[in-house]
Amino acid sequence: MTELARLVVEGVALGGAYGLVALGFVVIAKATGVVNFAQGTFLALGAYLTYNGAVTWGLWFPLAAALAVAASAGAGAGLERLVVRRLAARPPHAAIMATIGVAVAGDQVITMVWGFDHHPIGDPWGASSLRLGGVSVATVDVAVLAVTVVVVAAGAVFFARSRLGLAMRARAADGELAVACGIPVHAVDALAWALGAGLAALAGVLLAAGTATARPDLGLAALRAFPAVILAGFASVPGALVGGLVVGLVEVLTAGYAPVHAPWLGVNVHQVAPYAVMLVVLWLRPAGLFTASPARRW
C-alpha cells in the first residue's frame, strides 16, 4: 500500500510537469495553429540555463530558474517572429516542419555548448525526502507539485480575467475578429510562443531537479508528454493538465509494477505505456477526451 502511495505521488508530480509541457503545446497550437516540435529544445534550454545560473554563476536557485525560463520564453517569441510568422501565409505544415528543423539544430547546439555530461542544476531539494502520513516521498516531487499548482492557478486567472488573456482567447477563436476589435494579433502570437516556450522551460527545470540532472536526452520529455496533448485534443487547457497526469501516472505505475508482475513486457515498457493509452483513447474518441467530436458528413 505504501508502495502504491509512493508511486502515485511520484506519478502525479511527473504528470504535473508533463501537464505543463502539454499546456505549452496547447497554448501555441491554439493561438497560431502550429504544433511546435521544438518544445523539447526549450525544455532542455530551461534546465541547462538554470544549471548555468545556479551552479556556474552561483545565483539563488529560484532567481536562476526564473531567468532561464524568461530567456527561453524570449527564444520562443524570437522563433515566432523570425520563422513562424514568415510562413503564416503557407499551409500550417510548413511552419510545423520548420519547428522540426529548429529542434534538430537546437539539440545539436545544446550538446555543443553543454556537452554530454549530466549536470545537477543546483536545486535545493536534491535527494532528500519527506514523510507524509507514513509515506516517504521525494521532496522534489512535492516541490514540483506545488509549482505546477501555482502556475496552473495563475494561468487560469490570467485567461479568465485579464485583458491580455481575453485577447489571447479571442485570437485563438478568430484572428480576424480579434484584430477588428483592436487586438494586436502579431504581438499576441509572439506572446503565445513566449508563454509556450516558457512553460516548456519551467517543466524542464522541474524535470531536471532532484536527482534527475540536466542531460542530453532531457528534451525527449516533450515527446513523452505528447500523448497528453493528444488526449487534450490540442485545444483544451484543463485537458492538457489531466492528460499530463494520466501520462505521468501510467508511466510511473508501469515502471513500478510491470517489472514485477509482467517481466515479459521488457524493461522500458513504461516509456511505451502512455502511447498505448493514447492509441486506445484515439480509437474510442478520435477527437480526444476533452473536445466534442465534429459531426461526420458522409
Residue ranges binding another protein (CB under 8 A): 157-158, 161-167, 169-170, 173-174, 176-185
Name which of 55 and 170 has its Cβ closer to another protein. Answer: 170
- Please report how close the Cβ of residue 195 comes to another protein at its closest, in angstroms: 15
- Please report how close the Cβ of residue 237 comes to another protein at its closest, in angstroms: 10
Q: Find, among 164, 161, 200, 212, the residue nearest to 184 by Cα.
A: 164
**Which letter does DSSP use for residue 38 in this model?**
T
- Please report how close the Cβ of residue 56 comes to another protein at its closest, in angstroms: 36
CB burial string 220-250: b at 16+ within 10 A, e below = ebbebbbbbbbbbbbbbbebbbbbbbbbbbb
- Please report how close the Cβ of residue 74 comes to another protein at its closest, in angstroms: 20
Q: Find, among 228, 245, 225, the residue nearest to 236 by Cα.
A: 228
Name which of 101 and 184 has its Cβ closer to another protein. Answer: 184
Name which of 109 and 160 has its Cβ closer to another protein. Answer: 160
Which residues have CB under 8 Å from 102's CB, separation 6+? 37, 38, 41, 79, 83
- Please report how close the Cβ of residue 36 comes to another protein at its closest, in angstroms: 22
The SS3 of residue 132 is strand
Name which of 146 and 157 has its Cβ closer to another protein. Answer: 157
Q: Is residue 47 a contact partner of residue 207, using CB atoms and an 8 Å limit?
A: yes
Name which of 138 and 167 has its Cβ closer to another protein. Answer: 167
